[in-house]
Amino acid sequence: MKVVILAGGLGTRIAAESHLKPKPMIEIGGKPILWHIMKGYAAQGFTEFIICCGYRGEVIKRYFADYYLYHSDVTFDYSDQNVAVYHTNAAEPWRVTVADTGLNTMTGGRIKRIKPYLSGAFMLTYGDGVSDVDLGQLLKFHRRSKAAATISVVRPEGRFGVADIEDDKVVAFREKSGGDVGWINGGFMVLEPEVLELIDGDASVFERGPLETLAAQGRLAAYKHRGFWQCMDTQRDKALLDSAWERGNPPWKIWS
């Protein structure tokens, strides 16, 4: 089953780096967050990827074109114009299609544009979020539900503390937990090919028209993920992920 990764957005809320590269190429622990996402899928047996590029898509293409060089020792011999690559331990079992889906195309339009590369049901996620979601269980849940699409829903940690109030008086302050917020779309989705018919074109926002239509028709399933999930929407989010990586054994690192 192919994995589609939406990687074409501008990333304006993490602008300190996104003016140089697309947000999925911003690094966590010295590796693009896109790499972390793909390693998580590959560790669970999903190794064929379609990356939907837009803003600074050439950076993503260059990264995969030079993947071996980034992860190996190299000798450049200019006398005979030869390049020797050593310690090639970067042999990922990946097949990667990098597709230019337009600079200003919306999420639905990006999915629609890569239709020629799809065959059957496929997985879909965003290029800025990591998780330890069990993809095998997600796929089993989707198939049992017989839905046209399944989204993984999560309850993220809140950004602000909570005041517990009784009889109009504050009785305590505490950190906001996942139980204080509702379920949100965390990405890590499974879609049947029929969903593509709900996408009109480049201006289609997948999270609105298509998903809202499926929900209204009772054809959208929700897989509740209670484990780790974190998006990289802001510089604060990046700092949290960097800190987790530096401490060792970050919760989304399910590969050896």
Architecture in CATH of 3-154+184-247: Alpha-Beta Complex (3.90)
Residues 6+ away with beta carbon under 8 Å from 14: 23, 26, 232, 233, 234, 235, 237, 238
Among 113, 142, 92, which residue's Cα sits nearest to residue 4? 113
**Quick count: other Cβ atoms within 10 Å of Cβ 65?**
11
| pTM for the predicted model, two decimal places | 0.89
DSSP secondary structure, 27-87, as one string: EETTEEHHHHHHHHHHHTT--EEEEEE-TTHHHHHHHHHTHHHHTSEEEEETTTTEEEEE-
Looking at residue 210, the DSSP 8-state letter turns out to be: H
Structure-token pair, residue 182: 């509702």
pLDDT in tens, the chain (256 residues): 999 999 997 766 676 666 778 999 999 999 999 999 999 999 999 999 999 999 999 999 999 998 888 888 889 999 988 988 886 666 789 999 999 999 999 999 999 999 999 999 999 999 999 999 999 999 999 999 999 999 999 988 765 455 454 555 444 546 666 556 678 899 999 999 999 999 999 999 999 999 999 999 999 999 999 999 999 998 899 999 999 999 998 999 999 8
Looking at residue 198, the DSSP 8-state letter turns out to be: G
Residues 6+ away with beta carbon under 8 Å from 134: 44, 227
